[in-house]
Amino acid sequence: MAAVGVVVAVSGDGDDTEQVSVRTATPSPAVEAPTRTPRRTATASPAPVATVEPTPEVDRPDPQSLLKPGYALDQSLDVNMDGSETGQIVVVSHTVRKDKDGNPLVNALPEVCAPDPVNGSPCAFRIEVFAYDQPSGWMSRYVDDHANQFAGAEQDLSIASFILSNGNRQALIVTSDRATGIGSGTGLGQTILSMERDEIRVVYASDLKATVQVDTGVAVITEPHFAETDPFCCPSGHRITRVGLDAATGEVRVLGEQIVPLQQ
């Protein structure tokens, strides 16, 4: 840093003096050169392992692998009842009929699945819904077994789905054609399944020759209606039930019912 000194200059006549500032250079303190640190050799970190989230395309199993032992696959259906990325898998199967020696008689869905007192047991139908669970994989979330209950009964079971009014979820329609033991002896049962808060539940079920039509995201079930004075054989009207998404609650439920008298 430079020091400042003062020099007094005197004029010739001795009357005036003048002060002049003079800067005198002061040597700066020595500056040490920075010490060079040896360069460290970088060690490569292990590459991160990519994790792939399960998707319907990657992790979807063969429906055959989901069947209960001793059952043959009739139908499988991919549905999305909860709006998730993986959705659900529904399988319909039936027991393989065997003869009295234990040999299979049927390898696919028979046209008529009726008890056979000579050759062996009747068919029993089964519907099962599987949903994906992150730690465990595809897990059974709903099971319904339909077994023949009447001698000489015929039975069939099929599934279909329809898109609900919000557009990102589906409900499931289960149609069972089986003997009822009343009236004409047959019935077309209809069951509507939905998924609410990870639970699959029955929204509506009918066993009385019901039919289902889908109208703009709503299932319309038509079935016979018996009044108190109707004979056992003959209903006097139709019950029409609408099942769909309740916009207020976000749940699938019965939206309304109507009794329509039959034309006389």
Question: Three-state SS string across the chain, please?
Answer: CCEEEEEEEECCCCCCEEEEEEEECCCCCCCCCCCCCCCCCCCCCCCCCCCCCCCHHHHCCCHHHHCCCCEEEEEEEEECCCCCCCCEEEEEEEECCECCCCCECCCCCCCCCCCECCCECCCEEEEEEEEEECCCEEEEEEEEEEECCCCCCCEEEEEEEEECCCCCCEEEEEEEEEECCCCCCEEEEEEEEEEECCEEEEEEEECCCCEEEEECCEEEEEEEECCCCCCCCCCCEEEEEEEEECCCCCCEEEEEEEEEECCC
Task: List, for residues 124-139, the tens digit of each pLDDT value.
Answer: 788 999 999 888 889 9
Q: Which domain holds residue 234?
A: 56-261
Is residue 14 one of the residues assigned to a domain? no
Is residue 80 one of the residues assigned to a domain? yes
Distance between CA 68 and CA 94 in Å, rounded? 9
Find the mean pLDDT for residues 79-85: 93
From the list 157, 149, 158, the residue with the least C-alpha distance to 179 is 149
HSE value, Cβ hemisphere, 13 Å, CA-based, for 182: 11
Find the mean pLDDT for residues 80-88: 93
Distance between CA 190 and CA 38 in Å, rounded? 80
Is residue 110 one of the residues assigned to a domain? yes
Is residue 184 one of the residues assigned to a domain? yes
Is residue 178 one of the residues assigned to a domain? yes
| Domain tally, the chain | 1
Instruction: Work out the pLDDT band at 4, boundaries 50, 70, 90.
Output: very low
Is residue 33 one of the residues assigned to a domain? no
Residue with tokens 């059952």: 71
Task: List, for residues 135-193, the tens digit of each pLDDT value.
Answer: 888 999 999 987 654 434 445 788 999 999 988 999 999 998 765 444 444 567 899 99
Is residue 201 one of the residues assigned to a domain? yes
Q: Would you state the pLDDT for residue 96?
A: 66
Is residue 37 one of the residues assigned to a domain? no
The percentage of the chain sitting over the pLDDT mark of 70, rounded to a whole number, equals 60
Highest mean pLDDT of the ranges 30-39, 169-178, 243-252:
243-252
